[in-house]
Structure 1
């Protein structure tokens, strides 16, 4: 599968307006799109950050939806977004939660790597990181997204609640360092978000 992410920042006081638009009009439009396979919405209400990910059956569906999704994104985020970045990714490793509770949390780690090391990163995550994450209390699912050509990637991990996210920080730091060294990847940032919505749909 392939994923389009949108990362927006703005006035925290206007964030709820954007959330309502995304979970209302935005979600309704997405469900009509050919090849749509789910979405996630994550926020940092204190800072004023919003992250969305929309999942697509294949690269063709991702590209075919680009113009319509661009118009929708501009409309529903216009009142909030002071900055906005849109990226397309290959979903290289996927373990998505089927559902989450109201207190669910999300951790995003951004990576850079030499394009020739992309397969090493996939192996490190699939056979090293993900099995260790699955042993941690409250872990619900994780993903590795790649832009192989640019040498960029993200690791996403969903936890059941605030406490399990907090408890995982120390153990995950060790796992992160070991995997980055093994895959010759550079960690550029680590961020944490509240989970607003996860809509996971199986591939057709």
Structure 2
């Protein structure tokens, strides 16, 4: 699968209308496109940050949906009136889709590795990291996304509530440090967001 992520920043006082518009329209707009497999909307209301990702069954489906919906996406983000960055990733390792309700939290890390080690990173995440995370109380789902050309990785995990999210912070930090040390990678960012909306579809056979 392929994932288009959008990272937007702006005046925190204007984040509310943007989130409301996205939460109201995004899933209906995206699910009308061929190959749609899911959407997540995450926010840091204090700082004025939004990140969101839409999941697609193929690279072509991602490109076609972007061409069809890019203008409306820009309109929905306009109230925030800040910066917008869009990236496309391959989902190289994923946990089964989960359900997240009110109070759920999202942890996002970005790192750089040698592009030749992307498959090794995916194997570590799938075989060593996810089994540990899946045993944690409140774990909902997680994924590793990669840009194979550059070796950039984006790793996200979702927890059902603040308590389980906080409790997993230390063990997750240890797993991340060990994995990056094994890969010779560099952590670029670590962020935490509330889950505003999560819609994940089970991949079709």
Q: TM-score, normalised by structure 2?
A: 0.96
> Residues 99 and 198 of structure 1 are in contact (CA less than 8 Å); yes or no, is this contact kept in structure 2?
yes
Q: How does 1:48-197 map to 2 (within 5 A)?
A: 48-197=48-197
* 8 A Cα contact 1:117 1:184, kept in partner: no
2:168, 2:63 → 1: CA distance? 36
Equivalent pair of 1:121/1:185 in contact (CA under 8 Å): no
SS of 2:106 mapped into structure 1: strand
Task: Give the 3 Å change call, closer, same or farther, for CA 96–47 of structure 1 in structure 2.
Answer: farther
Distance 2:28 2:134 in 1: 33
Question: Does structure 1 conserve the Cα–Cα contact (< 8 Å) formed by 2:30 and 2:65?
Answer: no
Q: Are the equivalent residues in 1 in contact too, given 2:37–2:54 (CA < 8 A)?
A: yes
187-196 or 91-100: bigger deviation? 91-100
Please report the TM-score for the alignment, with normalisation by the length of structure 1: 0.96
Q: Could you tell me how far apart the structure 2 residues matched to 1:70 and 1:96 are?
A: 28
Report the counterpart of residue 20 of structure 1 in structure 2: 20
Moved more, 38-47 or 167-176: 167-176
How far did 1:166 drift? 1.0
The answer to whether the 8 A contact 1:9-1:49 is kept is yes
Separation in structure 2 between the aligned mates of residue 9 and residue 128 of structure 1, nearest angstrom = 34
8 Å contact from structure 1 (residues 38, 54) kept in 2? yes
In structure 1, distance between residues paired with 2:32 and 2:124: 36
Runs of 4+ in 1 over 6 A off after TM superposition: none
Unpaired runs of 5+ residues, structure 1, are none
Correspondence 1:29-48 to 2 at 5 A: 29-48=29-48
